[in-house]
Amino acid sequence: MDALILARLQFAFTVGFHFLFPAMTLGTSLVILFSETLYLVKKEVVYRKITDFLARLLGLIFVVGTATGITMEFSFGMNWSGYSRVVGDIFGPILAAEAVIAFFLEAVFIGVLIFGRNKVSPRVYWLSALLVFVGGHLSAFWILAANSWMQTPAGYEITATGKIVLSSFSQALLNPSTVIRFFHTVMASWMTCAIMIAGIAGYYVRKGLHGETAKMMLKIGIILFAVTPLVQLSLGHLHAIQVIETQPEKAAAMEGLFETTKGAPLYLAGYVDQQNEKTYGIYIPRMLSFLYNFNSNSEIKGLREFPKDNWPPVNLVFQAYHVMVGVGMLAIFMGLLGLFLLIKNKLFETNKYLYVLPFLIPLPHIAHETGWIAAEVGRQPWIIYKLMKTADGASVVVSANQLVFSLIMFFLIYSLLFAMFAYLFFKIVKNGPEE
């Protein structure tokens, strides 16, 4: 295999693995802030137990996230030095600012959250929970701004020598896709945590473990589980409109649309034959156009509008996107079902529902991973949309042999990390909150 494919595989694998952890961190910091606020106000010990339990999980999640996050910061230089030389002016400061403004805050105060319960006053502890929450979300903002700049670059100029230089930091930062992609990703993370907490607490309640603490956790989890997928539906909708407008090739690939169409259909599931430029599957006529601007006759651009060598791998983008949407729909249904049971006061007794809950924990991970694949593969063949090809971004001096070795090593080490993480996650869950 050639070095470019290997470098891309390595980046996809390492970032895909890393993404699992921040996706759990953000939502968990939200619930910790929520329960710690209630503890500060109501002084009821049940909230403190929830915080402490989640802080223990967060400690484990955060450490694997940090460990695998450094890989990402190094990888731009290690594997994508061509890219790094060109974008240092814009991508560099965004990454550096992330560390100064956000990651420091999160990493310093997470120490207090995990080790400081008996060392600080409840107010300072609450403040630490707030700062971990703020730091984590700011961090997500900067990282997504950097990634969004690759999708919809702005605030730059091209010099006579072909270098990309920064012309407006605020425009680069708040490029056309940053804000919506930030909210879409944060909501995915909150959803991930909602289902994780509901799943864990559902298991406790069904087994009759941890009494009131488990029931309160389940309540919080289910309410978040009902709300977040619905909010995500509207955020996803807004994001899709943004993609149709600013990256039409990607939107067309997501929907498997080859011909520019007035009244374009929406595929629920299917298969794209890129060779013969045909899409098969179940679809709702005119629905895509309708969703775009509530006009079922509006025009959506198809892939044929664009040169063929600038098409992404269409079927992969189509499938990834549809899996994400499918999981999202399932989440909406399951979340609302939980809320319905909660309102009817039947949640704690409906064993079938509680039994299913823990099995839903991986689902949001599948959604955010496939969503991310759709976003990144959908941008191909560009590393920076319409500015630089991925092939021009790779390191010149790193050979295919080196990449084979590093990819195997990453695979082995990350497999070990994952196995240990899963084992200890279950162990912490089994030990549960303090009685």
Partner 1 sequence: MENIQNFQLLWFFLIAFLFLGYALLDGFDLGIGILLPFVGKSKEEKDILINSIGPVWDGNEVWLVTGTGALFAAFPHAYATALSGFYPAMLLVLFALIFRAVSMEFRAHDEGRAWLWEKALLAGSGLATLLFGVALGNVIYGVPLDYKMEFTGSIFTLLRPVPLLFGVVALAAILMQGASYAVLKTEDELQLRCRRALGIILWVNMATAAVYFVVMAFIFPSLLSNALFYVAILLSMLGLAEILFSLRNENDQALFWKSSLFFLGLWIAATAAHFPNLIKSVDAPHLSITIYNGSTTLYTLQVMSVIALTGMPIVISYTIFVYRIFKGKVQARHY
Told to check if 16 binds partner 1 by CB under 8 A, we report no
Please give the Cα distance from 354 to 349 (Å, whole number). 8
State which H helix or E strand residue 188 sits in.
helix 178-207
Q: Is residue 355 involved in binding partner 1 (CB under 8 A)?
A: no
DSSP 379: T
State yes or no: residue 420 binds partner 1 (CB under 8 A): yes
Please report whether residue 70 would count as binding partner 1 according to CB under 8 A: yes
- Separation of alpha carbons 259 and 50, rounded Å: 53
Name the one range near partner 1 by CB under 8 A: 100-108, 243-251, 278-286, 363-371. Answer: 100-108
CA distance 48 to 275: 58
- Sketch the per residue contact string, 102 through 121, with partner 1: x for CB under 8 A, - otherwise: -xxx-xxxxxx-xxx--xx-
Binding-site size for partner 1 (CB under 8 A) equals 69
DSSP annotation string for 30-85: HHHHHHHHHHHHH--HHHHHHHHHHHHHHHHHHHHHHHHHHHHHHHHHHH-HHHHH
Task: For 89, list phi and psi in degrees, rounded to 5.
Answer: -65, -30
Query: In residues, how long is the chain?
Result: 435
> Which residue, 63 or 233, is less far from partner 1 as judged by CB?
63
- Structure token pair of residue 204: 């406790």
- Measure the CA–CA gap between 260 and 264, rounded to whole angstroms: 8
Kindly tell me which of 114 and 300 has the beta carbon lying closer to partner 1: 114
Stretch that binds partner 1, among 79-87, 270-278, 321-329, 330-338 (CB under 8 A): 79-87
Interaction mask 150-189, partner 1, x per CB under 8 A: ---------------xxx-x--------------------
Contact 205, 215 (CB under 8 A): yes
Q: Work out whether 84 is an interface residue with partner 1 (CB under 8 A).
A: yes
Binding mask 24-63 for partner 1 (x = CB under 8 A): --------------------------------x--xx-xx
Instruction: Identify the DSSP state of 263.
Output: S
Site for partner 1 in 398-417 (CB under 8 A): 398, 402, 406, 409, 413, 417
Kindly state the smallest distance separating residue 332's Cβ from partner 1, in Å: 35
Runs of H (alpha helix) within 98-177: 104-115, 122-151, 169-173
Using CB under 8 A as the criterion, which residues of the chain lie in contact with partner 1 when the complex forms?
Answer: 56, 59-60, 62-64, 66-71, 73-74, 76-79, 81-82, 84-85, 87-93, 95-101, 103-105, 107-112, 114-116, 119-120, 124, 165-167, 169, 395-398, 402, 406, 409, 413, 417, 420, 423-424, 427-428
